[in-house]
């Protein structure tokens, strides 16, 4: 996906600095948490070394942490993440059973085709998670992601499916849960 060039740097605006600072904060907290979990110690010297290493890692990562700014830091975000994971795993099981049933019983229709769906997710991280969730469920595969549209190969593409019905059938359930913890 090509982005147009502009004369203004995204880092120069105050809003971009706030987003970048948030991404650095999330990255630092994640690194420090990983350090504490891996060392298994809360001793002062271990924590000090963990802070130093976390700072170095986050500063070295720099702009690569920008996708982390899409995380919603609300008290309910972990609950929404759990809701998403529960929905994802239930869809994974149901999709596996559907594809297995289609393989075992040749009478079931298989109408493969490409459908385009539209996502309402604003962040690149949210759209990536949606595309990967769709790809990981059997019977669907994300072929291309461009802006707010995803091109999906679907095992049961009914002829004449419009954009809205395909979006509802494939992505709506995932999107409803993703928006709780991602922008």
Q: What is the Cα–Cα distance from 115 to 27, expressed in whole angstroms?
A: 36
Does the CA dihedral 131-132-134-135 come out positive or negative? positive
Q: What is the pLDDT of residues 36-60, one digit of tens each?
A: 999 999 999 999 999 999 999 999 9
Q: What is the Cα–Cα distance from 183 to 11, expressed in whole angstroms?
A: 19
Which tokens in the block code for residue 132?
Answer: 């990967």
Q: What is the pLDDT of residue 5?
A: 30
Q: What is the pLDDT of residue 11?
A: 36
* Residue extents of the structural domains in the chain: 14-70, 77-178
Q: In 9-132, where do the E strands start and end?
A: 113-118
In sequence order, the β-bridge partners of residue 50 are: none
CA distances from 93 to 20, 96, 99, 147 (A): 38, 5, 10, 29
Percent of the chain past pLDDT 90, that is, above it, reads 50
Phi, psi (degrees; rounded to nearest 5) at 135: -65, -35
């Amino acid at each position: 996906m090509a982005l147009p060039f502009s004369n203004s740097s995204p880092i120069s605006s105050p809003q971009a600095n706030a987003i970048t600072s948030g991404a650095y904060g999330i990255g630092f907290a994640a690194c420090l948490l990983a350090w504490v979990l891996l060392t298994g110690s809360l001793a002062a010297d271990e924590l000090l070394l963990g802070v130093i290493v976390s700072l170095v890692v986050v500063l070295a990562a720099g702009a690569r942490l920008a996708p982390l700014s899409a995380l919603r830091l609300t008290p309910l975000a972990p609950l929404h993440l759990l809701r998403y994971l529960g929905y994802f795993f239930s869809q994974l099981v149901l999709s596996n059973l559907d594809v297995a049933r289609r393989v075992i019983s040749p009478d079931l229709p298989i109408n493969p085709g490409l459908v385009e769906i539209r996502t309402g997710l604003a962040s690149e991280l949210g759209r990536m998670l949606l595309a990967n969730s769709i790809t990981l469920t059997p019977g669907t595969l994300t072929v291309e992601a461009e802006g707010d549209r995803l091109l999906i190969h679907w095992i049961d593409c009914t002829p004449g499916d419009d954009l809205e019905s395909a979006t509802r059938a494939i992505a709506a359930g995932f999107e409803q849960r993703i928006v709780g913890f991602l922008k």
